[in-house]
Amino acid sequence: MQPLPQNPTFRLDGKTALVTGAGRGLGLAFSAALAQAGAHVIAISRTESEISELVQRVKQSGGSAEAIVLDVADTAATRTVLSKREPVDVLVNNAGANRPKPILEITERDYDAVSNLNMRALYFLTQTVVRKLISERRAGSVINISSQMGHVGLANRTLYCSTKHAVEGFSKALAVELAPFGIRVNSIAPTFIETPMTRPILSDPEFRAEALRRIPLGRVGQPEDLIGALLYLASDSSLLVTGTSLRVDGGYTAM
């Protein structure tokens, strides 16, 4: 008789997860969720006060976490800090930036600021992490926080869309390259999520109305809406999943 299958688990006991941009918004929610699932969380941010408070709150709730104050856009410093540490099992590349403007108003400074954080920093931080995993013959999960704008286009978002399309391409190519090592690479592509970064633009009634018109489920997201996707990709429940983009977008890209 065929045995009944066992339900998968989203637990991360005994694993270490590294989250960039962990001080606020999605990064804070991701760090808390991973800790609640049993992972030891390494929270990275440029702002010491934010991640110190996060770590304190995680510990008070019975979780395990530590803070590293680091600007991941400084690739040399990031490489130095992370190469000295033990390998991480789960990498969440969450740090990102956006400067929505018409293309005629984008400056080289805008371009460098957004592309350096959204793609360059992500690329070389991932390189450092996977180098450690490969050298120690350990499997792992890389989760790149992309966007629905990595799949579509929108006016005044040429710069942001360019970087997020790059993240999607990077995720797919790296998934193929790292598959022989047991390292999975996936992305999460959210719709508009209410965070400190998006709140100013979502408070514009005209923009919010247009965003809601494009989202079939009829609402913008909250950070908690992404936790299920995060834990799925971080855990052994998704051991056969790599090179995939989970679109948590309310149906935005289905239109």
According to the model, what pLDDT value does residue 214 have? 96
Q: Which of 84, 101, 111, 160 is catalytic?
A: 160
Please state whether beta strands 140-145 and 16-20 pair in parallel, antiparallel, or not at all (unpaired). unpaired
Using one digit for the tens of pLDDT, what is the confidence trace for 20-43? 999 999 999 999 999 999 999 999
Do residues 42 and 17 make contact, with C-beta atoms less than 8 angstroms apart?
yes
Is residue 164 annotated as a catalytic residue, yes or no? yes
Segments of the chain scoring below 70 in pLDDT: none
Superfamily of domain 16-250: NAD(P)-binding Rossmann-like Domain (3.40.50.720)
Q: Which token pair is 205?
A: 């009634």
According to the model, what pLDDT value does residue 58 have? 97
According to the model, what pLDDT value does residue 118 have? 98
pTM: 0.96
Nearest to 220 by CA among 233, 235, 201: 201
Cα–Cα dist 184/240, whole Å: 9
Neighbours of 124 (CB within 10 A): 16
Q: What is the CA radius of gyration of the chain?
A: 18
Cα–Cα dist 151/168, whole Å: 8
Q: Which of 15, 84, 164, 232 is catalytic?
A: 164
Cα–Cα dist 165/197, whole Å: 20
Is residue 132 annotated as a catalytic residue, yes or no? no
According to the model, what pLDDT value does residue 183 have? 98
